[in-house]
Amino acid sequence: MIVAVKRNKKQKFFKYASVAFVLAMFFGYYQYMSAEFEQKQKIELEEKKAMQIQQEQEATMKKNFEKALLSEIEKAVDLIGQAYVKHVKIIENKLVIVCEPNTNLEALMVRYGTMALTKKTLNEIIIAIDINYVVESKLNAS
C-alpha cells in the first residue's frame, strides 16, 4: 500500500517562513550578544585605565613620601652631627635616632620642638620623631 501525502503551497510557505524566522532570531541574538560583549570590553578597558592611573598616582605619592622622609632623616642627622649618630631606624610611625650620650640636641629641638621625644640613658640618647607630622608638613609645603 502506497500512501501519498499531499503538500500544498501554504504548508511550504509556513515551513520556509518558520525557518527564516528562526534564522532571523539567531542573527538578532548574535548581534545583541556581540554589542553587549563590546560594551563589557569597553567598560573593562576603562576600568583598567582608571586602575593604571590610580597606581601611577600611588607610585608618585610613594616616591614623594620617600624623598621627603629621606630628606628629613638627612636633615635630622646633620643637625645632630653624623659622628654622634649610632643608629637610625623607622619603627611604626616614628623615626628613632640613637646617639652618643654627649650629643648636643639644641638644633634638633629648635627644628622639631615637642615632636622630638628624647630619652637620655647612661650609654646613649634615644630620639623619636613623629614621621606622619613631619612628612605631611613637608608634602603640604611643596
Three-class secondary structure of residue 130 per DSSP: strand
85-91/94-99 β-pairing = antiparallel
Starting at the earlier edge strand, list the strands of the sheet with 85-91. Answer: 85-91, 94-99, 125-130, 116-120
Tell me the residue ranges of DSSP E strands in 12-141. 85-91, 94-99, 116-120, 125-130
Residue 63 has a pLDDT of 92
Residue 138 has a pLDDT of 76
Task: Measure the CA dihedral 44/48/54/57, to 10°.
Answer: -150
* Burial 98-113, CB ≥16 within 10 A → b, else e: bbeeebebeebeeebe
Chain length of the chain: 142
Residue 142 has a pLDDT of 63
Residue 31 has a pLDDT of 96
Q: How far apart are CA 139 and CA 142, in angstroms?
A: 5
Q: How far apart are CA 92 and CA 127, in angstroms?
A: 14
List the chain residues with pLDDT less than 50. Answer: none
Q: How far apart are CA 130 and CA 135, in angstroms?
A: 9
Three-class secondary structure of residue 89 per DSSP: strand
Residue 10 has a pLDDT of 84
> What are the sequence ranges of the domains in the chain?
9-142
> Looking at the DSSP assignment, which residues form a beta bridge with residue 100?
none
Express each pLDDT in 61-100 by its tens digit.
899 888 888 988 999 999 999 999 999 999 988 999 999 9
